[in-house]
Every structure is written in structure tokens, then in C-alpha cells.
Amino acid sequence: MKWIDLRSDTVTQPSDTMRAAMAAAEVGDDVYADDPTVNRLQDYAADLFGYEAGMFAPSGTQTNLIALMTHCGRGDEYLVGQEAHTYKYEGGGAAVLGSIQPQPIANQADGSIALADIEAYIKPDDMHFARTRLLALENTIGGRVLKQDYIAQATSLAHAKGLATHLDGARVANAAVKQGISLREVVKGFDTVSVCLSKGLGAPVGSVLLGPKAFIEQGKRWRKMLGGGMRQAGVLAAAAHHALEHNVQRLAQDHENATLLAQGLSGINALSVAMPQTNIFWLDIPAAACEPLRKSLAEQGIRASIGPRTRLVTHLDISRADVEKVVAAFKTFFQDWRA
Ligand SMILES: *Cc1c(COP(=O)(O)O)cnc(C)c1O
């Protein structure tokens, strides 16, 4: 049975053409920097996003951590949103492994960090304080797209105050496609960016960190220390390259499907649905309905992280027909359900 899996866009299966590219990849030992497929991917990604150099790593958690550890040293701090992945969902790696103090700041409803808050949280040069070195933003954040003029203002402010800027761009391609702008345009203002190939872009494994050449060279020391030095990684890089070449513009379909799904579900009285901007959205489900709903969906081949606050995610293995099937399954369940 083929599952309709709405838990995340990380669940995508490599397509036949992607698998063929992986099988055909010419490989070497990337710790010696002589895997030609990895090198090609790194150069291609750097050029695509407008950076000097790139580094392929096993996960976005690792590319973010490498970036934080390269930007900041022991006793430094970075400004980050309370809801940001690098702060909330990466096991505290910056503090645990990097000796970097996070300064979390409340995210606004649109996912941004208020400019006044950024300014207020930058510490003066005083021995009592950690040294504020870096502003880290995330785009998309919880499926929301940061506004380009906000990014320009926030990164200019950070630079004017002597801070560097990093973007957790796990889903930055979704932000670009949503706005109809280029990948170069969407990352403007950030000194470094981490991009996940294993989310909506559909590769099985991997992220790239992009930035200045010297920064990436320094970052490779941390990557090795963190256990991210891979050998014949060209097999994986071939999939990542294929994803960047073929699966960027099609993200628009995922956005469209998310909107269709949200619209369909918003017709059900028991649910409260927030309309998506990209491929991720949230809905509130009565607590008492969650367990029987989860079971009912599972019996129909639908997987979702059902809870009082449920996140649904569309991706390249979710078709329009799947969306219609999911809406019908929810409708049937709630027809019969009484609190
Ligand atoms: C998934 C994700 C990451 C990290 O990705 P992994 O490859 O799972 O480690 C980082 N940031 C955001 C916003 C993500 O969604």
C-alpha cells in the first residue's frame, strides 16, 4: 500500500530518475576532496544561490551547527528566534557542542524577529556579557515566508552593528518559488545559508552550507570533527544535484496542494484551519477526536501527526488526487463524530 504521508516533506522517496543518477555517479573520497560528484554539487549550489563556495553535509542540523561554530567562538552568542529550528529543534547543539550562547528572541506572528528586539538584544562590549556575533534567521519558518524588505532591513541592521548573518534556509526554495523570485534574490543579505536537499526538494539525504570560500574551508574542519566527513558521498550528492536541477519550480504544486487541502478542511466545522503560505500549515482539532481520527485515517492509508495542534505538510509524493482523498476522509470522520 502506498501511504499518503502528511507528517513532513522529509518522507519523500527518491524517484526512478534520481536513483538512476545516483547509480551512475562517479565517486571519489570526499575527505580528500576528490569526489567529482560532490565537488560538482557544491559548485553548482554555490553558483545557484550566488555564493563563492559550498559544502555538502549529511544533515541540515549539521550544516547549521557548522555555520554557528564557524561564525561564533566560545563565549560568543547568536541572536535567534524562539521558534527557530537551530534554537528549539537541534538539541541545543550550539551551546552543547559549540560553547555558543543562544539569545532567543520572541518571533512575531509573521515569523520575523522585530528589528527593535534585534537592536535591543545586541550586548555592549562589556566583560559581563557574551559577545554578540551573529543574527540567525529562518525562511520559511513554520511554513511562513519572511518578507524581502524585512530581510534587507534585518541583515543591514546586523551588519551595521558588526554582526554576521546566517540563514537557516532548510526550505528557502519554497520561499523563492512562492514569491516568484530567484534563489539568489531570496538569500540576499545573508553571509551564509544552509539549504536542505532532503525536504521538499526530494533528495534522500543531505544539506549544503554556502558562503565565502575561506568560511567554507574553515567549516570543513568542524564538519570533520562532527563526524560529517563522508567518503564516496557522490552517490548522495548526485541525488542532491538532481533535486536542485529538477525539483525547485515544482514546489509551486506543493503550495497549491496545501492550499486545496486547507480549503477542503476549513469546510469542517469542528476544525480551525490556518491558511498556508507554502507547503506547511496548522489546524486545531478537538482533543477528544484526535485518537479516533488518527486511527480512521491510518486505516485508509493516510499518515499524519494528528494532535490538538496538527501540522500537515505537502510534498512531491502528494498528488492532487491524494489531497481530495484526505479531505473526503476527514469529512466522513467528522460527519459521524460527536464530542
Ligand atoms: C529540517 C530542518 C533543519 C535540519 O534538517 P535535518 O536535515 O533534519 O537535520 C533545519 N532547519 C529547519 C527549518 C528544518 O526544517
Whether 22 and 98 share a structural domain: yes
Asked whether residue 4 is domain-assigned, the answer is no
Q: Which domain holds residue 179?
A: 16-246
Q: Of 330, 115, 93, 337, which Cα lies nearest the Cα of 194?
A: 93
Q: Cα separation of 250 and 248, whole Å? A: 6
Among protein residues, the one with the nearest Cα to ligand 1's atom 6 is 60
User: How does residue 339 score in pLDDT terms, banded at 50, 70 and 90?
Assistant: confident
CATH code, domain with 33: 3.40.640.10
Whether 90 and 160 share a structural domain: yes
Q: Tell me, what's the pLDDT at 32?
A: 97
Whether 216 and 289 share a structural domain: no
Asked whether residue 144 is domain-assigned, the answer is yes
CA of 87 to the centre of ligand 1 (A): 11
CA of 59 to the centre of ligand 1 (A): 7
Using one digit for the tens of pLDDT, what is the confidence trace for 232-275?
999 999 999 999 999 999 999 999 999 999 999 999 999 999 99
Query: Which uninterrupted H or E stretch holds 215?
Result: helix 213-225
Q: Tell me, what's the pLDDT at 307?
A: 97
Asked whether residue 190 is domain-assigned, the answer is yes
Whether 237 and 264 share a structural domain: no
Whether 48 and 91 share a structural domain: yes
Whether 236 and 98 share a structural domain: yes
CATH code, domain with 319: 3.90.1150.10
Q: Tell me, what's the pLDDT at 202?
A: 97
Which residues approach ligand 1 with their CB closer than 6 A?
A: 59-61, 64, 85, 138, 168, 170, 196, 198, 207
In total, how many domains does the chain have? 2
Among protein residues, the one with the nearest Cα to ligand 1's atom 5 is 60
Q: Are 4 and 322 in contact (CB under 8 A)?
A: yes
Please list, in sequence order, all residues whose beta carbon lies within 8 angstroms of the beta carbon of residue 245, skipping any fewer than 6 positions away: none
* pTM of full prediction above 0.95: yes
Whether 232 and 314 share a structural domain: no
Q: Tell me, what's the pLDDT at 23?
A: 98
Q: Tell me, what's the pLDDT at 1?
A: 75
Whether 163 and 229 share a structural domain: yes
Q: Examine the fold and report which residue of 226, 246, 266 is the final residue of a domain before the chain moves on.
A: 246
Asked whether residue 3 is domain-assigned, the answer is no
Per-residue pLDDT at 229 exceeds 90 = yes
